[in-house]
């Protein structure tokens, strides 16, 4: 069975209202924000700065080690985010709840301003694809910095991996096969059996 | 279980990444390729790591021990490559670092992987480099078939 999840314009706007406004609280004494009752401070950060973390690391250790570190941070964000949302998605069978939790990834990424995406999941093959037709916020920021040859969003790749794995109870790895930051028409993250290093990224 | 899920990286513990599960045939070829290293005098342990630092195969007592070394080895190779480019002296071929209680030897094993080998202080580095070079070629060939 194949699933496809997407948001309408209205739903994207509603998720922005909920995720980035209604659930955000400001502690006036600290001058710090908190989200959805979480004890962890939450702050507004330009997407370009997230891209900068990758770029600076790339200059020192090269693309793949930098990619992995960024991916791991995103992965943790994805698993933690899905774990928080998991509490809400408890209706129906466990399988249905898992699928709804996966689907809710579209709400979070759009609502948080990371990018509006569609998620496709094929139960039979186990393949999952997250597509950001207009690009992720980080990819768009990278594009503004000038064209690059390698994908710019390992953080998001890690996030979608963490979200997908936590939702479905699988252990998929994701590869960013398209990135607006290197001139592609969208940002595309596909689950892969084994991530191959690309020779052109190594040399 | 879907094929892609069964072969996927074991990344459920995101902070302490463990091992990438290479397909069965490849795993066996890597094991065979690494076997001669065990007979090298002064050999302690070795790991084949993906270029991003995830372990593909190792001889360490625990996957966690291999994971730490692999992540660092990938960063060292990456930093060495950056240094080579910065200095205009080309790509690194291999590197070894003498520690107080051991030697770490790292070598590229093709575009996909890095070979990191931990040795005792008394090991014959010249001989080990010869063996490691041969094994690196085998690792590269095995991973080319993926």
Can you tell me the distance from the alpha carbon of B125 to that of B132, in angstroms, rounded to the nearest whole number?
A: 10
pLDDT band of residue B15 (cuts 50, 70, 90) is very low
CA terminus-to-terminus distance, chain A: 41
For B114, residues 6+ apart whose C-beta sits below 8 A from its C-beta are: B48, B49, B50, B51, B70, B73, B74, B77, B106, B107, B108
- The residue of chain B nearest to residue A58, with distances taken between CA atoms, is B78
Selecting from A60, A124, A171 the residue whose C-beta is nearest the C-beta of B8 gives: A171
Q: How many CA atoms lie within 13 A of B10 on its CB side?
A: 13
pLDDT tier, B6 (very low <50, low <70, confident <90, very high otherwise)? very low
Residue of A71, A122, A197, A203 to mutate for B, most B C-beta atoms under 10 A: A197
- What is the Cβ-side half-sphere exposure of residue B59, based on CA atoms within 13 angstroms? 19
Confidence at residue A196, expressed as pLDDT on a 0 to 100 scale = 64
- Percentage, residues of chain B above pLDDT 90: 43
Query: Could you report the predicted ipTM of this complex, rounded to two decimals?
Result: 0.77
Per-residue confidence (pLDDT) for residue B25, from 0 to 100: 79
Structure tokens at A57: 């690391």
Select the residue from A167, A202, A203 to test the B interface by mutation, using most B Cβ atoms within 10 A.
A202
Write out the two tokens for A62: 């090269």
pLDDT given at position B3: 34
Question: How far apart are the CA of B68 and the nearest CA of chain A, in angstroms?
Answer: 13
Please judge whether B79 and A59 are an interchain contact, meaning their C-beta atoms are less than 8 angstroms apart.
no
pLDDT score for B5 = 36
Based on the number of CB atoms within 10 Å of its own CB, is B23 exposed (0-12), middle (13-18) or buried (19 or more)? middle
Integer Cα distance of B57 and B49 in angstroms: 7
**CB within 8 A of A62, min separation 6: which ones?**
A202, B77, B78, B79, B81, B82
Segments in chain A below pLDDT 50: none
Q: What is the pLDDT of residue A87?
A: 76
Domain ranges of chain A: 2-202
Q: Which residues of A touch B78 (CB under 8 A)?
A: 60-66
**How would you class B61 by CB atoms within 10 Å of its CB: exposed for 0-12, middle for 13-18, buried for 19 or more?**
exposed
Cβ-based neighbour number of residue B129 at 10 Å: 16
Most confident listed range (A181-185, B59-63, B65-69, B110-114)? A181-185
How far apart CA A128 and CA A175 sit, in angstroms, is: 11
Give the least confident one: A52-56, A118-122, B5-9, B89-93.
B5-9
Name beta bridge partners: A187: A132
A129 close to A119: Cβ distance less than 8 angstroms:
yes
What stretch of H or E contains A81? helix A63-86
Of residues B27 and A58, more confidence is placed in A58
Which SS3 state, helix, strand or coil, does residue B141 take?
helix
Q: Encoding tokens for residue A149?
A: 């040859």
Interface contact B23, partner A, CB < 8 A: yes
Domains of chain B from N-terminus onward = 3-144 (3.30.450.30)
**Beta carbons of A64 and B5 less than 8 Å apart:** no
Report the pLDDT value the prediction gives residue A178, as an integer from 0 to 100. 97
Q: In degrees, to the nearest 5, what angle opens at C-alpha B111 toward C-alphas B90 and B80?
A: 40
Cβ–Cβ < 8 Å for B133, B84: no
Q: Does domain A2-202 have CATH number 3.40.50.300?
A: no
Contact A59 B82 (CB under 8 A): yes
A170, B8: Cβ pair inside 8 Å?
A: yes
């Amino acid at each position: 069975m194949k699933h496809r999840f997407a948001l309408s314009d209205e739903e994207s706007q509603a998720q922005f209202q909920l995720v980035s406004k209604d659930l955000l609280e400001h502690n006036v004494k600290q001058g710090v924000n908190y989200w959805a009752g979480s004890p962890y401070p939450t702050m507004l950060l330009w997407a370009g700065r997230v891209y900068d973390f990758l770029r600076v690391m790339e200059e020192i250790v090269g693309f793949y080690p930098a990619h992995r570190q960024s991916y791991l941070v995103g992965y943790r964000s994805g698993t933690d985010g899905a774990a928080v949302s998991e509490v809400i998605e408890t209706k129906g069978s466990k399988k249905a709840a898992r699928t709804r939790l996966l689907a809710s990834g579209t709400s979070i990424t759009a609502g948080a301003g990371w990018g509006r995406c569609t998620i496709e999941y094929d139960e039979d093959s186990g393949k999952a694809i997250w597509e950001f037709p207009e690009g992720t916020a980080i990819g768009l920021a990278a594009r503004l910095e000038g064209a690059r040859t390698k994908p710019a969003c390992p953080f998001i790749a890690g996030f979608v991996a963490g979200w997908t794995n936590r939702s479905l109870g699988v252990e998929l790895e994701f590869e960013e096969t398209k990135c607006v930051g290197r001139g592609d028409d969208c940002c595309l993250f596909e689950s892969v059996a084994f991530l191959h290093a690309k020779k052109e990224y190594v040399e | 279980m879907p094929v892609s899920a069964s072969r996927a990286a074991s990344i459920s513990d995101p902070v302490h990444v463990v091992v990438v599960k290479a397909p069965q045939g490849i795993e066996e070829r890597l094991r065979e390729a690494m076997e001669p290293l065990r007979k090298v005098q002064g050999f302690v342990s070795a790991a084949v790591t993906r270029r991003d630092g995830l372990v593909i195969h190792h001889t360490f007592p625990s996957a966690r021990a291999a994971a730490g070394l692999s992540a660092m080895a990938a960063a060292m190779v990456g930093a060495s490559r950056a240094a080579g480019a910065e200095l205009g002296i080309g790509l690194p071929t291999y590197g070894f670092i003498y520690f107080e209680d051991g030697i770490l030897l790292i070598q590229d094993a093709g575009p996909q992987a890095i070979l990191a080998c931990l040795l005792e202080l008394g090991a014959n580095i010249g001989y080990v480099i010869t063996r490691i070079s041969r094994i690196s070629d085998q690792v590269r060939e095995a991973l080319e078939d993926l």
